Chains A and B, each alone.
Chain A
Amino acid sequence: MRSLVFWSVSALIFALGLVATKLLANEFFFFAGYAILQATIMAVAWNILGGFTGYVNFGSAGFFAVGVYTSVALNKAFDPPLIVMLLAAALIGGLIGLATGYLTLRLRGVYFAIATLAMAIVLETVANNWAYVGGATGAYILTPKTVLFFDDYIEFLFALMLLLSLGAVAIARQLQLSRIGQGLSAIRDDEIAAECMGVPTLRLKLVSTTIMGALMALAGVPYPFFVTYVDPLSAFDLTIAVNAIAMPMIGGTALWFGPVVGALLLGSVQQIVTVTVSSAVNVLIVGVLLVIFIVVAPQGIVGLIRDQWRKRRAHG
């Protein structure tokens, strides 16, 4: 029953998004919407590992850039349809997630965190030295003027991002509600106890790292077409990694919709601040909010509301 509601709401949101591409004339909304949706996918993906199991990934920008550069390289090599690039990026991102996890997830959590940071910098060095995709100077991407029934390419990208983020949310939700999700939260609460109870902790952690890597790479695939010029500095932007952590932390990590709430709120605020004030201030706001939430309300917005609700129900 609840699944039915979820799927209907998702379908409704997608339909509304499609209608919006026909009704709204101002392109700014689609640029802003695209950025918010991209952040949503990254936040939801980060939370699959970070929120569900408690392992921190600092290298989100690295996984994102894997998608970006898969798309740039394939586009340059033989310009395949978008779906091929999406599949390839998900595969490569998933494999890199699996490999990083396999190397370090058997150690303490902090080693995994540092290794993801390391992985991102190694990948950035590779991208800087890989002349085929532009190296340090970057590469230009040509986008078609229109596609399918959309009037403008940005509208198509917006719809694609909407579909991808709804998919990411659905995957995160399925994971949490399934047996895997129970195992993952057992790992977060007490990994040794979980292992003793027969939870296959390493295998579950590897599953979530792989899914996380694949989703983050997916989020990067349309990016070159969105900005039409890609260099390592923008593809590996630290802001991407910080947002991917800050949004779930602010929204609430324990439940699948926490990162969605965080991404929509913080993403909208960022769009407004970037336009009205400056992008440096915007980034500073994220950092300050992140630290404040971590110190004062580590359960996030969703957690705060849930606590309030429970308290009220206990009294009433």
Chain B
Amino acid sequence: MDLFLNAIVSGLLLGGFYAAVSLGLSISFGQLDIVNIAHPAFVITGSYVTYMVNRALGLDPVLIGLVFSPLFFVVGAAVYYVYYVSFEKTGQEALSGLVFFFGLMFIIEISLIMVYGVDYRLVAAPYIGVTWRLGAVDLPLRMFVPFVTALIMTLAIHLFLARTFAGRAVLAVAQDRLALRLMGADPVKVKQLAFGLSIATAAVAGSLLIIIGPVEPSVDRLYIGRVFAIVVLGGMGSIGGTLVAALILGVAETFVATFYGPSWAPAVSFGILLVTLAVRPQGIFGRY
């Protein structure tokens, strides 16, 4: 029973963190229809930035992620511009755009390997290693801090999209690009903003990733399956759906890891993804 309860709690904590990693993809893939396979690679880049600054200055990892998110925003906006000029403008995003991001992921990963090698890197923070005990339930802070940060970030993104003018423009571009243009707004500018935002979340998610555990450059491959499973299961672009789907995946993975062994955990997300695609491609919260 204790094992069961602990599995649920650590699954939920893990799921919250997964939501942070998936948020960006939920915006780019779900809202903008840009299949950014390289999203986990940007997250890993965030982890390495956090690692470098943390080692040099000893700042708090989450703070580093937040400080660097504007820089990631600019990088994201630039990547979208290249993507737009090369593929969207000419209507080639289906095949070439996909391969473009695949190549980008590969370049990021290999560059990180060449600079940092394949050793695992980790950060230092006072709360890493501390565990609160609430009755029978363990609450390790290195999971709890990312969980809380992820929830705040999810809420912030949700409020931005639902309440602000720019956020509503992003939702509008997802629904009807032509109508947005008729209203006098530039869909390219709006998408650039939204894609920049999606990469900005990767900076924070990366800092959370390296708090949870040590990171090496090819970790991003495991996250490709997770983030796409979450975004598809969550109903493509629904922020609330992304959170729920992330929690479901976190709990499912933890259960499989606890009761069958951790080496089976990577297959869970892909299994969920394949089943979702086969049975209910619109996801649990899909509108269509």
A56 & B95 in contact (Cβ 8 Å cutoff): yes
Interface membership of A200, Cβ < 8 A: no
Given the complex, which residues of A lie within 8 Å of B224, measured CB to CB?
A: 117
B114 & A118 in contact (Cβ 8 Å cutoff): no
Interface membership of A227, Cβ < 8 A: no
Given the complex, which residues of B lie within 8 Å of A122, measured CB to CB?
A: 267, 270-271, 274
Given the complex, which residues of B lie within 8 Å of A304, measured CB to CB?
A: none
Q: Which of A56, A104, A125, A284 contacts B277 (CB 8 A)?
A: A104
| Listed stretches B59-67, B101-109, B142-150, B159-167; interface member | B101-109
Q: Which of A50, A113, A281 contacts B35 (CB 8 A)?
A: A113
Interface membership of A264, Cβ < 8 A: no
Interface membership of B111, Cβ < 8 A: yes
A294 & B110 in contact (Cβ 8 Å cutoff): no
Interface membership of B94, Cβ < 8 A: yes
Interface membership of B278, Cβ < 8 A: yes
Interface membership of A121, Cβ < 8 A: yes
A42 to B215, CA, bound (A): 31
Interface membership of B266, Cβ < 8 A: yes
CB distance from A102 to the nearest CB of B (A): 9
B225 & A121 in contact (Cβ 8 Å cutoff): yes
CB distance from A164 to the nearest CB of B (A): 26
A117 & B225 in contact (Cβ 8 Å cutoff): yes
CB distance from A90 to the nearest CB of B (A): 23
Given the complex, which residues of B lie within 8 Å of A246, measured CB to CB?
A: 103
Q: Which of A50, A103, A111, A290 contacts B103 (CB 8 A)?
A: A290
In chain B, positions 252-281 with a C-beta closer than 8 Å to chain A are 261, 263-264, 266-267, 269-271, 273-274, 277-278, 281
Interface membership of A147, Cβ < 8 A: no
Q: A113-B35, A128-B263, A298-B92 are in contact. Are A284 and B107 (CB under 8 A)?
A: yes
Q: Which of B92, B96, B278 contacts A103 (CB 8 A)?
A: B278
B281 & A107 in contact (Cβ 8 Å cutoff): yes
Q: Which of B94, B111, B114, B274 contacts A110 (CB 8 A)?
A: B94
B228 & A121 in contact (Cβ 8 Å cutoff): no
In chain B, positions 210-253 with a C-beta closer than 8 Å to chain A are 218, 221-222, 224-225, 228-229, 232
Interface membership of A87, Cβ < 8 A: no
A126 & B267 in contact (Cβ 8 Å cutoff): yes
Q: Which of B103, B114, B229, B271 contacts A294 (CB 8 A)?
A: B103
Q: A104-B277, A110-B35 are in contact. Are A118 and B270 (CB under 8 A)?
A: yes
Given the complex, which residues of B lie within 8 Å of A280, measured CB to CB?
A: 110, 113-114
A287 & B107 in contact (Cβ 8 Å cutoff): yes
Q: Which of A104, A113, A121, A129 contacts B221 (CB 8 A)?
A: A121
Interface membership of A141, Cβ < 8 A: no
A110 to B269, CA, bound (A): 17
CB distance from A52 to the nearest CB of B (A): 11
Given the complex, which residues of A lie within 8 Å of B102, measured CB to CB?
A: 56, 58, 242, 245, 290
Q: How large is the interface on B (under 10, 10 to 19, 20 to 34, 35 or more residues)?
A: 35 or more
Given the complex, which residues of A lie within 8 Å of B179, measured CB to CB?
A: none
A249 to B94, CA, bound (A): 14
Nearest B residue (CB) for A291: B103
A283 & B110 in contact (Cβ 8 Å cutoff): yes
B277 & A290 in contact (Cβ 8 Å cutoff): no
In chain A, positions 80-113 with a C-beta closer than 8 Å to chain B are 103-104, 107, 109-111, 113
A290-316 CB mask vs B (1 if < 8 Å, else 0) is: 110011001000000000000000000
B111 & A284 in contact (Cβ 8 Å cutoff): yes
B274 & A287 in contact (Cβ 8 Å cutoff): no
CB distance from A174 to the nearest CB of B (A): 23
Q: Which of B37, B96, B103, B270 contacts A119 (CB 8 A)?
A: B270
Interface membership of A54, Cβ < 8 A: yes
Nearest B residue (CB) for A249: B99
B274 & A103 in contact (Cβ 8 Å cutoff): yes
Q: Which of A111, A242, A295 contacts B82 (CB 8 A)?
A: A295
Interface membership of B124, Cβ < 8 A: no
CB distance from A285 to the nearest CB of B (A): 9
Q: Which of A50, A115, A294 contacts B86 (CB 8 A)?
A: A294
A290 to B97, CA, bound (A): 12
Q: A121-B266, A283-B110 are in contact. Are A54 and B94 (CB under 8 A)?
A: yes
Interface membership of B98, Cβ < 8 A: yes
Given the complex, which residues of A lie within 8 Å of B263, measured CB to CB?
A: 125, 128-129, 136
CB distance from A3 to the nearest CB of B (A): 29
Given the complex, which residues of A lie within 8 Å of B107, measured CB to CB?
A: 284, 287-288, 291
Interface membership of B68, Cβ < 8 A: no
Given the complex, which residues of B lie within 8 Å of A115, measured CB to CB?
A: 273-274, 277
29 A-B contact pairs sorted by A residue (CB < 8 Å) = A54-B95, A56-B98, A103-B277, A103-B278, A104-B277, A104-B278, A110-B94, A113-B35, A114-B277, A115-B274, A118-B228, A118-B270, A118-B274, A121-B225, A122-B274, A128-B263, A238-B221, A242-B102, A242-B103, A245-B102, A249-B99, A281-B114, A284-B110, A284-B111, A288-B107, A290-B99, A291-B100, A291-B103, A294-B99
Give 19 A-B pairs besides A114-B273, A242-B103 with Cβ atoms closer than 8 angstroms.
Answer: A56-B95, A56-B98, A58-B37, A58-B102, A104-B277, A104-B278, A107-B277, A110-B94, A110-B98, A111-B281, A113-B35, A118-B274, A121-B225, A125-B263, A290-B99, A290-B102, A291-B107, A294-B100, A298-B96
Identify the 3 closest CB pairs spanning chains A and B, nearest first: A118-B270, A125-B267, A287-B106
